[in-house]
Amino acid sequence: MFYELHEAGKVLIPFGVKLFDVVVFLQLCFLVPGFILNSWVLSIFLRNLRRHVTPFTVYVLMNTILEMAMTASVAVTSVPQVIRRDFYLKPSWCDFFKYVSWTLPSLLIILHSVICLDRWLALLRPLWYRTKTIKFGLCATFVGFLYHQLWYLPAFVIDSLKERRPNQTCDTAITAITYRAMVKVFTDFLPETAIVCSYPFLLYRVWRRGAARRLGQVPTGPAAAAATAALDPVLIRSGIEMRLTVCMLMVHMVCWMPYSITSSVLNFWKPNEPLVLLYVYYAVYEFGHILCLLDPIIYLLYFPGLRSAWLADIGTIRRCLRLHSNAIVP
């Protein structure tokens, strides 16, 4: 997060390669497939909104768009550093990098906490939740975005009033330390705490539902078909949404929390020897990018409609490639 860490990225590792260049290469290994998969999922949503967009999957749609913005912005801010290190000396580039570094990671936390809130509403107010519309999900996402941006707006104002020296290095730390702490608490730590505290209860709910299903009598033959037909589609969809949420939160805690905590610590503490934390920081930095690749895979695993549309696209691509190869063969 600090310039010292970016300067430490010039450190040479074996074979004379810069460590920062290796980190950017690993970023692209996760970000490019993640961007392609998220774009594919988004295209499936847009091709049939009526079928795929529900009061819950609207959060998946928003999360997909946010992760696409994150992957694109990280690539745009990282690759130029490999080409020219003085990109950070440009005020406009520095302002864009600050906005990306400050807002997008914590905005993902806000959106995941909104998904947690949606699951709690499904558990505590089931009758009302069945009447919930897509509009509620869009409004909840917008309120979360507005809440997040209102916290960061004074930070941008304070930073813009700060005097800058010619050729000053871009520092992503927010200027006012006290206000910086407040912003981190209300946009990072409290939503992360809500996610961590919600996970055991939601996991227990999934386990209890699965245990009740296993302990019940399982019909066979014609009785099995009749029992399957009698199942409430709303309950089936609710179970899928709960399992997907638990899986998403688990991946979030494993991949995103280490990066979020480390970057927050480095925003408040400038180490005397930045090289000591260099490898730790870059390691957890890569974990955050893995999340953008795993989330679309989770969507395809848990939503049959998205998965069938994706497999149909794969089949279409294979047929087109086969026809093309047959056409060029004499």
Q: Which residue has the tokens 């916290």?
A: 151
Residue 265 has pLDDT above 80, yes or no: no
**Which whole-number Å values give the CA distances from 88 to 55, 97, 115, 179, 231, in the listed order?**
42, 8, 35, 24, 58
CA-to-CA distance for 78 and 225, rounded, in angstroms?
55
Range of the domain at 250: 3-216+230-328
The token duo for 169 is: 């290095």
Task: Convert the pLDDT of each residue in 38-84 to its tens digit.
Answer: 999 999 999 988 888 999 999 999 999 999 988 888 777 777 666 66
Q: Is the dihedral of CA 60, 65, 66, 72 positive or negative?
A: positive
224: in domain = no
Residue 139 binned pLDDT confidence (cut-offs 50, 70, 90): very high
Residue 129 lies in a domain: yes
Which pLDDT belongs to residue 270? 60
Evaluate if residue 288 carries a pLDDT over 80.
no
With a cut of 90, say whether residue 224 has pLDDT above it.
Answer: no
Residue 223 reports pLDDT greater than 50:
no
In a domain, 222, yes or no: no
SS3 8: helix
In DSSP terms, 18 is beta-bridged to 12
Task: Choose among 296, 293, 297, 265: nearest CA to 281.
Answer: 265
Q: Per the domain annotation, does 225 fall within a domain? A: no
pLDDT single digits (tens) 85-99: 666 667 777 777 777
| Three-state SS sequence of 66-84 | HHHHHHHHHHHHHHHHHHC
Q: What is the pLDDT of residue 88?
A: 63
100, 181 Cβ separation under 8 angstroms:
no
The tally of domains found in the chain comes to 1
Please enumerate in sequence order all residues whose Cβ is within 8 A of that of 70, keeping only pairs 6 or more positions apart, or say none: 104, 105, 108, 292
Q: CA–CA distance from 68 to each of 56, 125, 162 (Å)?
A: 19, 33, 32
* Ramachandran assignment for 62, one of left (phi > 0), alpha (psi -120 to 50 degrees), beta (any other): alpha
162/173 Cα distance (integer angstroms): 12
DSSP E strand stretches across the chain: 12-13, 17-18
Kindly state whether residue 243 falls inside one of the protein's structural domains.
yes
Residue for token digits 């309950």?
235
219 near 227, Cβ under 8 Å?
yes
Instruction: Say which CATH number the domain at 127 has.
Output: 1.20.1070.10
In a domain, 21, yes or no: yes
pLDDT higher than 50, residue 5: no
* pLDDT at 77 (0 to 100): 73
CB distance 180 to 269 below 8 Å: no
What does each C-alpha distance from 154 to 54, 150, 171, 179 come to in angstroms? 35, 8, 17, 9
CA 102, CA 152: separation in Å to the nearest integer? 8
> Band of the pLDDT at 240, cuts 50, 70, 90?
confident
Task: Report whether pLDDT(298) > 60.
Answer: yes
In a domain, 237, yes or no: yes
In our burial notation (b when 16+ CB lie closer than 10 A, e otherwise), range 4-22 reads bbbebbeeeeeeeeebbee
